[in-house]
Amino acid sequence: MADTTLTKSYGMIAEFRTAAAVLHAAQKVRDAGFRKWDVFTPFPVHGMDRAMGLRNSKVGWFAFLGGVTGYATGMIMIWWMNALDYPIVVGGKPMFSPHAAFPPSYELTILFGAFGSLFGMLFLNRLPRLHHPLLKNKRFSLVTHDRFFVVIECDDPKYSEFETRKLLEEAGSPHIEIVEE
């Protein structure tokens, strides 16, 4: 069955051996005006965000939102529980005081902020994703070992099998192949 149906290509992957080479290639691909492409590295390469033309990550907003929610939750919860729903006088202290409520609210700020940054990161990266065309490729599995890859998707409007291959070859890739969807 599978061999009779035409498999769609996902994209072209080009392997690189050094961090400098892949950084160089990324600048070339960026300048060529591609949109749907990415660089895959075993560790974050310094300067790659700029070489790819990426903008500052938006994770901070998720963390900030989480933190604000956490602090507000703490303060409102403690006020409602100890001053409104079931007020108990303890040692003649006020029913609600922001000072006594601060430590738990502070902890909740951090807790919710941490959830915000982790889940914000996962959301922005569209993870968890248990299947990806690249993960099927044998050679690509070296990306977590010691290889660097530039991948240009076939869906990119500028993609053409010949021109793109030429660009990547000029960028110095020793190995280029097409990955099936």
Partner 1 sequence: MAAHGIPANIPQPPPELERIPLVANLRSFGWISNQVAALCEDRAPFWWWVLFVPSFMALCLLGAMLSYQISTGVGVWGNMHPVMWAWDIVNFVWWIGIGHAGTLISAILFLLRQRWRTAVNRAAEAMTIFAVMCAGIYPALHVGRMWYDWWLFPIPNSNSIWPQFRSPLMWDVFAVSTYFTVSVLFWYMGLIPDLAVMRDRAKTKLRQFLYGLGALGWTGSNRHWSNYEKAYLILAGLSTPLVLSVHSIVSLDFAVSQLPGWHTTIFPPYFVAGAVFSGFGMVLTLLIPLRKIFKLEDIITMRHIDVMCKVTLATGSIVGYAYAMEFFIAWYSGNPNEQFHFMNRALGPYQWAWIMMVSCNVLVPQLFWFKKVRHNLVIVFILSILVNVGMWFERFVIIVLSLHREFIPANWGYYRPTWVDICTYIGTFGLFFTCFLLFLRFLPMIAISEVKGVTAQSDPHHPLGGATVEEKIPDDEE
Q: Contacts with partner 1 in 12-31 (CB under 8 A)?
A: 17-24, 26-27
Our measurement of the distance from residue 9's CA atom to the centroid of its chain's CA atoms, rounded to an integer in Å, reads 24
Q: What is the distance between the alpha carbons of residues 107 and 75, in angstroms, rounded to a whole number? A: 11
**Shortest distance in whole angstroms from residue 76 CB to partner 1:** 12
Tokens of 23: 């950084």
| Residue 36 touches partner 1, criterion: CB under 8 A | no
Q: Three-class SS of residue 176?
A: strand
Closest to partner 1 by CB, 5 vs 123, is 123
| Residue 72 touches partner 1, criterion: CB under 8 A | no
Site for partner 1 in 96-155 (CB under 8 A): 97, 100-101, 103-104, 106-108, 110-111, 113-115, 117-118, 120-122, 124-125, 127-132, 134-135, 141-146
Residues whose CB falls within 8 Å of the CB of residue 126, separated by 6 or more in sequence, listed in order: none
Nearest of 41, 9, 2, 17 to residue 173 by alpha carbon: 17
Tell me the per-residue interface mask from 42 to 71 with partner 1, x by CB under 8 A, - otherwise. xxxxxxxxxxx-x-xxxxx--x---x----
